[in-house]
Structure 1
Amino acid sequence: MFLKLVLLCLCLWRLDGVFGDSGLESVIEGDSFSLNSGLTEMKDDDVIQWRIGDENTLIAEINKRADRITVYDDVLDGRFRDRLKLDNQTGSLTITNTTTEHTGDYDQLINSERKRFFLTVIVKSVSVKEGDSVSLNSQMKDDDVIQWWFGYEWTLIAEINVTADRITVYDDVLDGRFRDRLKLDNQTGSLTITNTRTEHDGEYKLQINSEIKRFFLRVYVLVPVKEGDSVSLNSDLTEMKDDDEIQWRFGDENTLIAEIYKRFDRITIYDDVLDGRFRDRLKLDNQTGSLTITNTRAEHDGEYKLLINRRFSSKVFRVSVYDPEELNEIKHIFTHQVHD
């Protein structure tokens, strides 16, 4: 279930993966993805072409006038072979079974009008409970230079130069959030993050020479609660700003269940969604945006994701609702693991 949320975790401005008109898209490796032409129906004289990369390689086209649909899936060493589908009504392009080599700039030409997309294929999604360790795997050759970068600002956190026989971790960057937590395997180049915290949540980029692969790490907070009790999910804000927007979403489908718009002084609870399972059970703190679920039931068990100003924060809560007899045992196990 964590794998499904990774695509949404990368969407900074809209939940569908598109950053306004810039056409920045993200997909998890192995999934299919459609690049939308924006047309509801092509006209009789329309010509649509799809191209990729700096070389502007043609990979698919529709010529309505000639009633011709063509996919050029053997170009570029066959990376698109048996993976391209064109919608003959709209001209939208679908790439199936994506791999990281499908990352890049895609140009859509409708007659003489061009629209550009940038598709990022995320190589791996990894979820880990706060406090646990996690490894991001790599393969290394004798002459490789491996670098690990974190976040959208591409902060270098670790590197190996095999030729120079040099291993370096930069664990004091980013306010020291990685201090004493990074380990590099000198045989494979794999990166291990120990004692994870929610601030380690985010995108990790592995650069091997000129090749880049992306991982998305989701660090979740486990919240056990006894059935019938209330539970509060803390936003970590002491006070919302005047223009802040907070959303809370639930489950694999990221269903919106509550939101605050400070600019409009509006608080909305969507407690009738999902067959009304949250009806009369949700409360939002208008100062901090924290969410409280009252009178919990087993159907409230699942993932709760916090968005601040339309960006996924570094907090995902995994609420586990237990009956009273189970709870004491679960708390004992959880406490023991944290101390270890």
Structure 2
Amino acid sequence: MEGDSVTINSGLTETKDDDVIQWRFGDENTLIAEINVTADRFTVYEDVLDGRFRDRLKLDNQTGSLTFTHTTTEHAGYYEQLINGVRRNRFSLIVYTRLPVPVIISNSSHCSSSSSNCSLVCSSVLNVCEATLSWYAGLSVLSSISVCDLSISLSLPLEVEYQDKNTYSCVLNNPISNQTTHLDIHTLCHTCADSVHCCGPTEAVIRLVLSALVGVATVSIVVYDIRSRRAERDQAHIHTSGT
């Protein structure tokens, strides 16, 4: 993974007195590290290739093994080991970008009382090569997509029933890691009966007006009752005074 450390072993337990060990990188066979036992010289060439290996290479003086620290995708490629001018080994280093957490959103702008399905989309925030985006129902793969094009983000649709009891998850993975987001149907999928917020604007206005009318009627009844009781008390007082 990007940021990890990795060691390419030379295959030697220790160097000989007359050994010259070289490490070369890429199609141009750029020399990046060298051990010359006779000259007692151990060199890491940090300034080559625009300094991509600066402060990231360590050379084992005893075995000639090469260690990368804080790897980046720039370090991916082919490495050759030469001992006394003869190529002994060739290695391929693959560095995977750390995966983002996939995001699940509802693809429906409003609820529908006639449809029994909820439309969803899972996507990766950042597109990466050699990664696959998949929908799972439990442990079973429903669909997947893999695109190695940094100009195109990965996205995958899914339709589920509002009352579906299955466990769904969206997984973004590469050969050595994965990121998973679990679907919460109750949060992302609503029917019109679930919440007033999903109803149409006309129905919402009608409900508001009806609520206001009920409130006004209630207040009027209370005021009328208070006035009636007060009038009855006043009449009773006048009658008593006259007597």
Structure-1 separation of matches of 2:6 and 2:90: 15
Equivalent in 6, 9, 12 of residue 39 of structure 1: 12
Structure-1 separation of matches of 2:178 and 2:121: 12
Instruction: Tell me the residue number matched to 1:177.
Output: 143
> Is residue 67 from structure 1 mapped to residue 33 from structure 2 by the alignment?
no
Q: 1:34 to 1:149 in 2, by over 3 A?
A: closer
Instruction: Tell me the residue number matched to 2:126.
Output: 137
Letter of the aligned partner of 1:190 in structure 2?
S
Instruction: Tell me the residue number matched to 1:50.
Output: 23
Structure-1 separation of matches of 2:146 and 2:88: 44
Kindly indicate whether the alpha-carbon contact (under 8 Å) linking 2:102 and 2:125 is maintained by their aligned counterparts in 1. Answer: no
Q: 1:176 to 1:49 in 2, by over 3 A?
A: same
Letter of the aligned partner of 2:28 in structure 1?
E
Letter of the aligned partner of 2:83 in structure 1?
I
Q: TM-score, normalised by structure 1?
A: 0.38
Kindly indicate whether the alpha-carbon contact (under 8 Å) linking 2:56 and 2:70 is maintained by their aligned counterparts in 1. Answer: yes
Of Structure 1 and Structure 2, the greater strand share is in: 1
Instruction: Tell me the residue number matched to 2:97.
Output: 123
Instruction: Tell me the residue number matched to 1:192.
Output: 155
Instruction: Tell me the residue number matched to 2:53.
Output: 80
Shift of 1:192: 3.3
Instruction: Tell me the residue number matched to 1:319.
Output: none
Q: 1:182 to 1:337 in 2, by over 3 A?
A: farther
> Is residue 98 from structure 1 mapped to residue 71 from structure 2 by the alignment?
yes
Q: 1:193 to 1:94 in 2, by over 3 A?
A: farther
Kindly indicate whether the alpha-carbon contact (under 8 Å) linking 2:124 and 2:172 is maintained by their aligned counterparts in 1. Answer: no
Instruction: Tell me the residue number matched to 1:203.
Output: 174
Query: Gapped runs of 5+ residues in structure 1?
Result: 1-27, 139-146, 152-156, 158-174, 205-214, 223-332
Kindly indicate whether the alpha-carbon contact (under 8 Å) linking 2:101 and 2:124 is maintained by their aligned counterparts in 1. Answer: no
The sequence identity of aligned pairs, in percent, is 50
SS state at 1:77 partner: helix
SS state at 1:66 partner: coil
Q: 1:177 to 1:80 in 2, by over 3 A?
A: same
Letter of the aligned partner of 1:83 in structure 2?
R
Structure-2 separation of matches of 1:87 and 1:150: 34
Of Structure 1 and Structure 2, the greater helix share is in: 2
Kindly indicate whether the alpha-carbon contact (under 8 Å) linking 2:122 and 2:156 is maintained by their aligned counterparts in 1. Answer: yes
Shift of 1:176: 7.9
Kindly indicate whether the alpha-carbon contact (under 8 Å) linking 1:129 and 1:219 is maintained by their aligned counterparts in 2. Answer: no
> Is residue 114 from structure 1 mapped to residue 88 from structure 2 by the alignment?
yes
Kindly indicate whether the alpha-carbon contact (under 8 Å) linking 2:76 and 2:92 is maintained by their aligned counterparts in 1. Answer: yes
Structure-2 separation of matches of 1:33 and 1:148: 21
Shift of 1:54: 0.6
Query: Gapped runs of 5+ residues in structure 2?
Result: 105-119, 134-140, 159-167, 191-243
Structure-2 separation of matches of 1:335 and 1:137: 24
Please give the per-residue CA displacement for 1:285-333, whole angstroms capped at 9, x wherever unaligned: xxxxxxxxxxxxxxxxxxxxxxxxxxxxxxxxxxxxxxxxxxxxxxxx9
Structure-2 separation of matches of 1:149 and 1:93: 26
Q: 1:52 to 1:137 in 2, by over 3 A?
A: same
Structure-2 separation of matches of 1:30 and 1:87: 20
Structure-1 separation of matches of 2:8 and 2:75: 13
Shift of 1:125: 2.6
Q: TM-score, normalised by structure 2?
A: 0.51
